[in-house]
Chains A and B, each alone.
Chain A
């Protein structure tokens, strides 16, 4: 079997470059970050909020990670890896001498244990499904097998994954928090409370957690990647209103308000000469969309769905949120590979929309419901959509509910005719176009309790998606992305969504915290790449 050696020159170059960077930036100093909500859990198997996502990345490591500030994959705990020609066997060589925070060395057994723990139904992990391509997943997730037969430890520093199908996204999956490595003895010691006593091998270790008040991360002195992290300490103060956090930032008490600039203060902050230079803008792997339930008439007619696409004035909606987004015309955001730049999408044309409604036999319009999450600015956006729809004769009454209730309604085939996804919209788990398909547009998501709120299921596209994800060979990468591009353009022909906008991240930091802008809008370490930013006052 010919093996493809994938360890890139870039990765070697990077590891060589890292120490020189480290020499330039001195370690030390502290940073204060605030959040409105308490941190729920720091267990990598369970944590799935945007807030704890990057915290977990700083406490734990996985086999793979991304170049800071980019969506470029690179090995982390893995020193090198090989992929078999048929794309079903992934073999990783681990770094030697990597220590957990409790002092024990990390081995391949720990990697195996950590992934099996996520798949074990008793863990109740929201990430279990990501490992569906590993052999033995069905048995393990059903609780019939203790582990995964497809994970084989060859020696303490070599681990092999055997997949039941070729999976081009598998390296991304191993970079997810769910694949981060935990020490078995600590998990067993704390049981269900492991998430409050996290022990990993990451750049920081948890030094203090006072429930509802604050968490303190301390630099892990035995971290394998010498030179990282830059800061000695990060203090997370929780329970702080974003408006108050911004005032404290102006007062020099806070370095990063984790929840960003509150909408009510946005224009003021952007016009403030002192704050303007501290604000950083970046793209997100996010699309906000209006889902139309293809099982509920008249949305079962493609003309009606296209009409809705043409009726909505997206520029106006972007203005409603102070320009913190760009109008979208397809499911993928512009920063995602596979985004069709030359695709123009449905134009804003109410007259043509009316003609389409007439074609569908609903020339006089109809009554329907629009579900929306009840926190600002979502109801305002829904009202704008409502007005646009009214202009072509569609009378949509707004159902403004708690997030969980909207999700529950979307998961029922006959409940929600339309859902504005704001506040619950899709943000990619990893930067690959396939992550925008399965749960929200594929047949597997169109099941009771699923997230495919359009109940759109096109078996032809499902087959194409499978074909695309089987293209593991790097030589096929371009072909694969082109295939995904076609899939999304075909979806737009059927128009189960009206894509509305792609959110832009606006974040702010104090003048005493340094680091490349991209680190503060890191597409993976949202909202800040804690490992790489540094304190200017110790330089």
Chain B
């Protein structure tokens, strides 16, 4: 187990280096000039050149990248070009909000998705099943921006049940979590449905039923634990999906997380922030997958980590 985790962590570090390299190359190739941006529209050519020199932007690519890596291994993500603040400080200040939103979203996603999936599987080939699958299809395909605005309009503006955007209390968390979770719920519903149908056809379920066990006990004691296995791995992958969704949802709801930070930085080509957020997102995705892999054997002892 320890060796497995160690090996995975080493892989993680290598992946992060890979990602940092690719992102750095891509941002290097972007035809925007950070020095020009910092210097502003009234600056003289000398001022621009001076800033370029101070930031090391006049150095060859490999030197710039090595400088960045040098900082990175010391935990220094650089300083934002436009906000003039340490990128790490900006990310740390926003990380708790994003983690909270992600937790809320995963909860909503599981609750909605699994319930829909189980009901659809039990009522398969009925109208309920059709309706649920159509709903899940809509959930998967609907743009989060639209869902977010719709929920805001109905539940915050019209009904006044929740605050219109913002951050701070449990009530603020509900609508963005549901919006973010809604997309994933569709996937979970479909996955859960097919997985449960598959399990319900197995011999051991038939045997369990034959022994006279009540229907709910068969479902919760035998079928669900087996059907849920593929779902566990999905949660890890979900963290990756959320990273893109979070940018939209955080913007709509005014949620002060790293998605919003990333969006603002992308609009203004603030390269150190884009690099920093990309690396943090990559970390989240890789760790999410690792976590999913570690939890799976706890649920199904037949699976061994190697």
Query: Interface stretch among A241-249, A389-397, A471-479?
Result: A241-249
Contact at A143–B50, with CB atoms within 8 Å?
yes
Contact at A124–B39, with CB atoms within 8 Å?
yes
Determine how close the nearest CB of chain A comes to the CB of B286; give it in whole angstroms.
Answer: 25
Is B254 interfacial (CB 8 A cutoff)? yes
Report the Cα distance A37→B264, complex, angstroms: 7
Q: A124-B39, A124-B51, A211-B93 are in contact. Are A402 and B260 (CB under 8 A)?
A: no
Determine how close the nearest CB of chain A comes to the CB of B232; give it in whole angstroms.
Answer: 32
Q: Which residues of B contact A501 (CB under 8 A)?
A: none
Contact at A192–B54, with CB atoms within 8 Å?
no
- B residues 148-162 near A (Cβ < 8 Å) are 149, 152-153, 156-157
Contact at A244–B42, with CB atoms within 8 Å?
no
Determine how close the nearest CB of chain A comes to the CB of B222; give it in whole angstroms.
Answer: 47
Is B41 interfacial (CB 8 A cutoff)? yes
Q: A143-B50, A241-B252, A247-B157 are in contact. Are A447 and B33 (CB under 8 A)?
A: no
Report the Cα distance A403→B255, complex, angstroms: 25
Is A251 interfacial (CB 8 A cutoff)? yes
- Choose one: A253, A408, A449; the contact of B45 (CB below 8 Å): A449
- Chain B, residue nearest A214 (CB): B256
Report the Cα distance A429→B43, complex, angstroms: 13
Contact at A405–B261, with CB atoms within 8 Å?
no
Q: Which residues of B contact A381 (CB under 8 A)?
A: none
Q: A130-B42, A405-B32, A429-B42 are in contact. Are A239 and B260 (CB under 8 A)?
A: yes
Q: A126-B38, A192-B79 are in contact. Are A248 and B269 (CB under 8 A)?
A: no
Q: Which residues of A contact B255 (CB under 8 A)?
A: 239
Q: A142-B46, A240-B165, A404-B269 are in contact. Are A449 and B36 (CB under 8 A)?
A: yes
Determine how close the nearest CB of chain A comes to the CB of B180; give it in whole angstroms.
Answer: 16
- Chain A, residue nearest B33 (CB): A408
Contact at B90–A211, with CB atoms within 8 Å?
yes
Number of interface residues of A (CB under 8 A): 61
Report the Cα distance A489→B96, complex, angstroms: 57
Contact at B43–A193, with CB atoms within 8 Å?
no
Q: Which residues of B contact A253 (CB under 8 A)?
A: 164
**What 1/0 mask marks residues of chain B from 236 to 260 whose CB sits below 8 Å from any chain A CB?**
0000000000000011111111001
Determine how close the nearest CB of chain B comes to the CB of A48; give it in whole angstroms.
Answer: 5
Report the Cα distance A122→B47, complex, angstroms: 10
Is A29 interfacial (CB 8 A cutoff)? no
Q: Which of B32, B93, B153, B157 has the most CB of A within 10 A?
A: B32
Q: Which residues of B contact A41 (CB under 8 A)?
A: 82-85
- B residues 16-42 near A (Cβ < 8 Å) are 30-34, 36-42
Is A451 interfacial (CB 8 A cutoff)? yes
Is A121 interfacial (CB 8 A cutoff)? yes
Report the Cα distance A193→B153, complex, angstroms: 39
Q: Which residues of B contact A211 (CB under 8 A)?
A: 85, 89-90, 93-94, 256
Determine how close the nearest CB of chain A comes to the CB of B138; give it in whole angstroms.
Answer: 22
- A residues 290-328 near B (Cβ < 8 Å) are none
Q: A129-B42, A404-B37 are in contact. Are A141 and B47 (CB under 8 A)?
A: yes
Contact at B89–A241, with CB atoms within 8 Å?
no
Q: Which residues of B contact A407 (CB under 8 A)?
A: 32-33, 36-37
Contact at A40–B84, with CB atoms within 8 Å?
yes
Is B103 interfacial (CB 8 A cutoff)? no
Is B44 interfacial (CB 8 A cutoff)? yes
- B residues 42-98 near A (Cβ < 8 Å) are 42-48, 50-51, 54, 79, 82-85, 89-90, 93-94, 97
Contact at B251–A241, with CB atoms within 8 Å?
yes
Q: Which of A195, A247, A250, A449 has the most CB of B within 10 A?
A: A449
Contact at A124–B165, with CB atoms within 8 Å?
no
**What 1/0 mask marks residues of chain A from 238 to 267 whose CB sits below 8 Å from any chain B CB?**
111101100110110100000000000000
Contact at A244–B152, with CB atoms within 8 Å?
yes
Q: Which residues of A contact B50 (CB under 8 A)?
A: 121, 124, 143
Q: Which residues of B contact A38 (CB under 8 A)?
A: 83, 260-261, 264
Report the Cα distance A438→B43, complex, angstroms: 11
- Choose one: B82, B164, B260; the contact of A212 (CB below 8 Å): B260
Q: Which of B37, B42, B266 has the most CB of A within 10 A?
A: B42
Is A127 interfacial (CB 8 A cutoff)? yes
Determine how close the nearest CB of chain B comes to the CB of A280; give it in whole angstroms.
Answer: 23
Report the Cα distance A241→B250, complex, angstroms: 10
Is A61 interfacial (CB 8 A cutoff)? no
Q: A195-B84, A196-B85, A253-B164 are in contact. Are A241 and B254 (CB under 8 A)?
A: yes
- Chain B, residue nearest A406 (CB): B32
Q: Which residues of B contact A375 (CB under 8 A)?
A: 267
Is A514 interfacial (CB 8 A cutoff)? no
Report the Cα distance A211→B86, complex, angstroms: 12
Contact at B45–A450, with CB atoms within 8 Å?
yes
Determine how close the nearest CB of chain A comes to the CB of B266; give it in whole angstroms.
Answer: 8
Determine how close the nearest CB of chain A comes to the CB of B223; give it in whole angstroms.
Answer: 43
- Choose one: B31, B38, B41, B82; the contact of A451 (CB below 8 Å): B41
Q: A127-B42, A402-B269, A451-B41 are in contact. Are A411 and B51 (CB under 8 A)?
A: no
Determine how close the nearest CB of chain A comes to the CB of B44; give it in whole angstroms.
Answer: 5
Is A432 interfacial (CB 8 A cutoff)? no
Contact at B84–A43, with CB atoms within 8 Å?
yes
Q: A124-B54, A240-B165, A403-B267 are in contact. Are A409 and B31 (CB under 8 A)?
A: yes
- Choose one: A40, A237, A408; the contact of B31 (CB below 8 Å): A408
Is B268 interfacial (CB 8 A cutoff)? yes
Is B107 interfacial (CB 8 A cutoff)? no
Is A128 interfacial (CB 8 A cutoff)? yes
A and B contact pairs by CB, cutoff 8 A, 21 listed = A40-B84, A46-B84, A126-B41, A129-B44, A143-B50, A195-B85, A210-B256, A239-B250, A241-B252, A243-B149, A244-B165, A244-B252, A248-B165, A250-B157, A402-B269, A404-B30, A404-B268, A404-B269, A407-B37, A438-B42, A449-B45
Q: Which residues of B are in contact with A by a Cβ distance under 8 Å?
A: 30-34, 36-48, 50-51, 54, 79, 82-85, 89-90, 93-94, 97, 149, 152-153, 156-157, 164-167, 250-257, 260-261, 264, 266-269
Which 7 residue pairs of A and B lie closest in terms of their CB atoms, listed nearest first?
A: A126-B40, A404-B32, A212-B256, A211-B93, A404-B269, A240-B254, A121-B50
